[in-house]
Amino acid sequence: MALWIPVTIAAAFLQNLRFMLQKHLKATRLSTAGATFARFAYGAPMAALLVAALIWARGDSLPQTGARFWIMAMTGGTAQILATMCVVALFAARNFTVGITLKKTETVQTALVGFVVLGETVGPGAWLAIALGFVGVVLLSDPPARRPGVPLWRRVFNRAAGLGLASGALFGVSAIGYRGASLSLSDGDALLRAAVTLACVSAAQAVAMALWLLWREPGEVARVFRHWRVTSAVGALSIAGSLGWFTAFTLENAAHVKALGQIELVFTALASWLVFRERSTGREVAGIALVVLSVLVLVLVEG
């Protein structure tokens, strides 16, 4: 089995745990931006310590970074901040499973962004996957509580659908940015290059989010650290999951990594039913199934 496969599965599991904690924070303690900042506030120093530990333990030297690295890394980091905020806001509009599934449209969007930015092509099977995924998103976007007389197009093109699709697109841009940044480093193995990319991005994200909160939401940074028992766990899960994603992106085409990462939907469904006691409608289950099917088609045809 190729190394990127178990690494991706582990990353998806850890990411699901992190989103569970962020949903809890959003619902009980912090704003959308505060719950987003929690992952970077503790994740950034952890990432820096990881790089230092790798260099100390293995005698490696820091890879040389160039202009392409910083452009790709900062683009990916900015997109990830915006994508995470979209997902956290989405949790307030739809249940956990539907929210994550709408986010998971990132798989086909990553394939398209990868073609445009990195020239990594996908074949005609991707179009079938995109069509299946689109139908699934339409089913998921139609809210369970329908208002009489409101046409389908107005029900489908709602705030929750917009947040879900936007998060998917932004996570796709983020994945391509991180893969491009990591591949631009000429020195070190996949783990070191992934760790260096993660440390640089996390530090920039932490500073940017802190400045934003100090400006727009005074007191929110203090609340993040006041609830350190939960927010530090978010940071630890974030850094562990991100290291997995970054390593997988270094080893394999980002579209394939994101496609396998759809296994997170299994973890999400279990969390939604067992932890949050949420239930999905038949239409939502059908929509989830079509999105998953679109992913399977992408893996089988393009993988």
User: Rounded to whole angstroms, how far apart are CA atoms 295 and 286?
Assistant: 14
User: Rounded to whole angstroms, how far apart are CA atoms 300 and 229?
Assistant: 42
In this structure, what token pair is assigned to residue 286? 């059908």
**What's the pLDDT tens digit per position in 211-267?**
999 999 999 999 889 888 888 888 888 888 888 988 888 888 776 777 777 777 667
Mean predicted lDDT score pLDDT of the chain: 78
pLDDT for 41 beyond 80: yes
The per-residue pLDDT for 153 is 43
Span 110-137, average pLDDT: 67
The per-residue pLDDT for 96 is 53
**What's the pLDDT tens digit per position in 277-294?**
766 677 767 777 777 787
The percentage of the chain sitting over the pLDDT mark of 70, rounded to a whole number, equals: 68
**What's the pLDDT tens digit per position in 166-191?**
888 888 888 889 889 998 987 778 88
Span 158-167, average pLDDT: 73
In this structure, what token pair is assigned to residue 112? 């398209």
What contacts 20, CB < 8 A, 6 or more positions away? 96, 271, 275
User: Rounded to whole angstroms, how far apart are CA atoms 46 and 65?
Assistant: 20
Residues 241, 104, 127, 287, CA torsion sign: positive
pLDDT for 52 beyond 50: yes
Burial label, 235 (beta-carbon count in 10 A; 0-12, 13-18, 19+) = buried
Q: Where are the beta strands (DSSP E) in the chain?
A: none
